[in-house]
Structure 1
Amino acid sequence: MGKEELTFCGFTIAICSFVVQLMTLGFILSMNVFYIEYIDYFKDSATKTSLINGIGIGTTFLIGPFVGVLVNKFGIRPVVIGGGLLSSGGIIISTFASRVEIMYISFGLITGSGTGLAYGPSVVIISRYFHKYHTVINGIASAGSSIGIMVFPPLYQVLIDKYRWKGAMLIIAAMNMHTVVCGCLMRAPDDRLQDMAPYEQPTSVSSPECDASSDDFEASKFIDTGEVHVTNPEKASEVKILDKNMASSDESMGKKSSVHRHKRFSNFLRGSGIKLFRSHPFLLVMWFTNFIVAIGYMAALVYLVAKVVSVGVTRLQASFLFTIIGVCSLAGKIIHGSMVDCGKFPPLLMFSSHLFFAGMSLLLVPIGDSFPVFAVLFVVFGYSVGVYFSVIPICLREGLGVQNLATSLGWVFLAIGLGDILGPPIAGWLFDISSNYNYCFIMVGTLDILAAVTVLLYYGFDTYRTSRHAS
């Protein structure tokens, strides 16, 4: 692939990745607008109704390891296309739901799985095209989710007011089909070789070596048919040896089949990435930190408005805090790339430091008593979230290599999905036993700081170990 073609394809891939992340993570996080509509239509409890979006967001990340296996087996393009079709199909099926439990399956599982299938490869493909400016392009592409959080909620509300919630979801399903279009354009740099048919492979000219191999081929027929016509007398002795070894070969077939089964199992473990945890402790560190960070992140978003309103801030001002988080998160995703690419800020150290800033801002929420104070705290929180979430694939790429990025990112997404599901009920349990939202934010802030310290300790140990090996 020539340099000019790679530049043009890379530009196309960056745009497609931006759109896919806009229509997956930006879309699924914005669907909380439909919560009130679900309450009015299904006439069910708030706890059961809130699980619709919770399952959808959690499933988006929970299927991460499965997405990594599919990408390694089939490639990026088919997985993204399938994800777009599945997510749009789930939205359409949701319009026929008559009970909340049906929405758990149609929107929670089907649509959530579709967005997960499309989102993961859109992150991986950036690393296939960009090396020198990988961090910058990754930040720009991941900004799609932040823009979705800022733009989609008011757009969804306008559609609901005009077409009601079912009509709005049908329009959203049509919009989501842009994911399929972008998936069709997502060709990895090595797809040309992978797509080449067997008939297109170059053929070799005849040579003495080829003639000799034809005699071997004549002899090899003996194993399958029991007969052979030896045209070369020098090969007759070899055929006799083959005949004597037939019995021993039958005895070894059982051993070969067991070895083959063991090989298939090893290939499965290698494809799923489970062995990466043993060979690369760094993946375990990233899995644990992202799990506890996701618990805090979702809990903070769910109980943000309730906490702020409880101290006298109006609901309109409280909702504006989400806009602040979205704008600052977008700024963090764009700015962090130039900081990492300058070479003075290691990605892992940037990940740890911004986890710490996010944790400190959440720990200070309980002392907030006015909108300006909360605005400042969530400016810091939003910017920190934009940085540390965007730098996750950068850290995995540097720590595990490009060849393991899809698999490792899938396992990290699994950790995020588990945290997204567990975070709100854990924080809700703290409120039930204390009747105070302050303990919720103390918990989530502490978890972020714990994650920051864990990553910082690993970074220090890894730097010390590398320096010792170098000396």
Structure 2
Amino acid sequence: MLEPHYGELNMPPAAATNLAHKPPDGGWGWAVVVAAFISIGFSYAFPKSLTIYFKEIQEYFSVSYSEIAWLSSVMLASMYAGGPVSSILVNRYGSRPVVMLGGLMVSAAMVLSSFGTTIIHLYLCVGVIGGFGLAFNLQPALTIIGTYFQAKRPLANGLAMTGSPVFLSILAPLNQFLFDSYGWRGSFLILGSVVFNCCVAGALMRPVSNQKPKGCLPPSNEAVDQGAVADAGPQTADSDPEEGQHEGKGQTQNSKLVDLTLFKHRGFLIYLVGNVVMFFGFFAPVVFLAPYAKHQGIDEYSAAFLLTIFALVDMFIRPFTGFLGNTRRIRPKIQYFFSFAVSYNGICHLLFPLASGYQGLVVYAVFFGVGFGMVSALLFEVLMDLVGAPRFSSAVGLVTIIECGPVLLGPPISGALVDTFGEYKYLYSTCGVLMLTPGIFFFVMHYFNYKKLEDEQKQKAAGEMRRPEETVELKSNNEANK
């Protein structure tokens, strides 16, 4: 267990789990990681892989770059906007049924979109229905990992988040093959059956036990999943005991909805502010990578292969990042690690104009894959580190509903830059600034946050030392009065 040693490093610990059960840190949890791998893989890779069809759909409906970019933006924004609804459902019914419902929704959305006659039809089917289905796949998968893992949680999160690049590396060339064979309508119909596998992933998400069976046997893993077990009064490393007790009451009252007391949580607010800016430039570089290559005269399969290269690098970086995040030196400072990852992405995009020819794009795809993988592997781990597992489901719901704005507007704004200037370098430079700025913000704010936490811990320790002395003094006064 890494947690007990944090104090020896003179760094604030990760937020306490405070669940109604002890996370097994293994066992069936690894099957749950596989299920989360599938669910998260579809959630993040599916919108990106659909960019293969953008040029053809754009010509079919005679729309602009910014209009076609709305397709992936609406899907991603719906996925983020569905966060609070998914949070409520997970807290009420557990992860398994919510993921299975999401799989059905995405499958139905792709089948319906194959009959689309206008771009608005695709916005509604692929964007709204499909996006909400992905929300029901993403958040439950992230939440259930926190109920199965504590000491190995960064590693488990890193492995689960690897699903995104693995699925992207498969879906990108698959979509190109399907388009060449069946056109975009036939491809969407086939993809509807492919994404139905999310229901299989949901079936693997067996709830964690939080009850002891009769006798002296250890707890089994077959009781009812309580989402993030929100009715436990949370006390994290980022709040004092009195505040934790006060917020615990609000958490209990709102356990079936959303914990709004998180807006008083210092670490959560730092995470939220930085991420809102970051997400304006997070997805657009991926969305426009293949279209830019085609714009440069590169053939379709080579353009699609850039996404495969990006995904392969991303695939290996995510578990490696999870491994590094789980080490004793980095885990207590994992917020700094995340700050570095965000800043690194910004620098990659700012250097994009230096990439010339197909070889230059390959080099960019490799370096971008490293940065994107680091951010993705740490994105939800650092949030859980700040707020703790019991409040994570509500925290994800609040973060995603707020982030849906930049997720929705980022790619269309970037597409508008291409329409205006006729070049892609302005798009990538803007995204670089939008990533580097929050990276620096995270470094500065987490430095002060860690210092504040250290001061609070010292005050708490000093208070505990004074209490025995006050008790002895009180007893002496009472004896003297007698």
Percent identical? 25
Q: Give, in angstroms, the shift of residue 50 of structure 1.
A: 3.7
Partner residue of 2:165 out of 146, 150, 157: 146
Which moved further from structure 2: 57-66 or 430-439?
Answer: 430-439
1:128 and 2:147 equivalent? yes
2:50 corresponds to 1:65:
no
Instruction: Work out the CA distance in 1 between the residues paired with 2:65 and 2:419.
Output: 15
Q: Name the structure 1 match of 2:368.
A: 381
Code of the residue aligned with 1:275 in structure 2: it is: T
Q: Relative to 1, partners in 2 of residues 1:174 and 1:285: Cα closer, same or farther, differing over 3 Å?
A: same
Structure 1, unmatched stretches of 5+, are 197-262
Q: Deviations over 1:405-426 (max 9, x none)?
A: 1111223333443222211232
Q: Does 1:189 align with 2:175?
A: no
Deviation of 1:436 after TM superposition, in Å, equals 4.3
Q: Aligned partners of 2:355 and 2:117: how far apart in 1?
A: 42
Counterpart in the other structure of 1:245? none
Alignment deviations for residues 317-340 of structure 1 (CA, whole Å, 9 cap, x no partner) = 554432332122112201012211
Deviation at 1:439, TM superposition (A): 2.8
**Quick one: which of 277, 285, 290 aligns to 2:263?**
277
Unaligned runs of 5+ in 2: 1-19, 211-221, 227-248, 459-482
- 8 Å CA contact 2:343–2:435 kept in 1: the answer is yes
SS at match of 1:194: coil
Q: 1:444 to 1:370 in 2, by over 3 A?
A: same
**Higher Cα radius of gyration:** 1
- What letter corresponds to residue 276 of structure 2 in structure 1? F
Letter of the structure 1 residue corresponding to residue 269 of structure 2: L
Partner of 2:190: 171
* Cα distance, 1:308 vs structure 2: 6.1
Deviation at 1:271, TM superposition (A): 2.5
Q: Which has the higher helix share?
A: 1
Distance 1:289 1:295 in 2: 11
Quickly say closer, same or farther: Cα 1:429–1:27, change in 2 above 3 A.
closer
State the alpha-carbon separation in 1 of the partners of residues 374 and 72 from structure 2. Answer: 25
Report Cα offsets for 1:271-329 as digits up to 9, x if no partner.
22332112x12222222222222211223224445666778877765544323321221
Q: 1:270 to 1:451 in 2, by over 3 A?
A: farther
Count of matched residue pairs: 404
Decide whether the 8 Å contact of 1:290 with 1:415 is kept in 2: no
Q: Which amino acid aligns with 2:346?
A: G
- TM-fit CA distance, 1:32: 1.6
CA contact 1:52–1:104 (8 Å) conserved in 2:
yes
- SS of equivalent residue, structure 1 residue 24: helix
Contact 2:105 2:133 in 1 (8 A): yes
Report the Cα distance in structure 2 between the residues aligned to 1:4 and 1:470, rounded to whole angstroms: 25
Is residue 350–residue 388 contact of structure 1 (8 Å, CA) maintained in 2?
Answer: no
User: How far apart in 2 are the matches of 1:94 and 1:274?
Assistant: 36
Classify 1:164/1:418 alpha carbon distance in 2 versus 1 (closer, same or farther; 3 Å). Answer: same
Paired residues of 1:14 and 1:137 also in contact (CA < 8 A): yes
The aligned residue for residue 368 of structure 1 is 355
Q: Which amino acid aligns with 1:343?
A: R
* TM-score, normalised relative to structure 1: 0.77
Are 1:442 and 2:429 an aligned pair?
yes
Aligned counterpart, 2:312: 327
> What residue is the counterpart of 1:249 in the other structure?
none
Alignment match, 1:359: 346
Question: For residues 359 and 32 of structure 1, do their structure 2 counterparts lie closer, same or farther at Cα, with a shift above 3 Å needed?
Answer: same
Residues 159 and 373 (structure 1), Cα distance of their counterparts in 2 relative to 1, 3 Å cut: closer
Contact 2:47/2:76 (<8 A) preserved? yes
**Counterpart for residue 250 of structure 1:** none
Q: Aligned-pair RMSD on alpha carbons?
A: 3.1
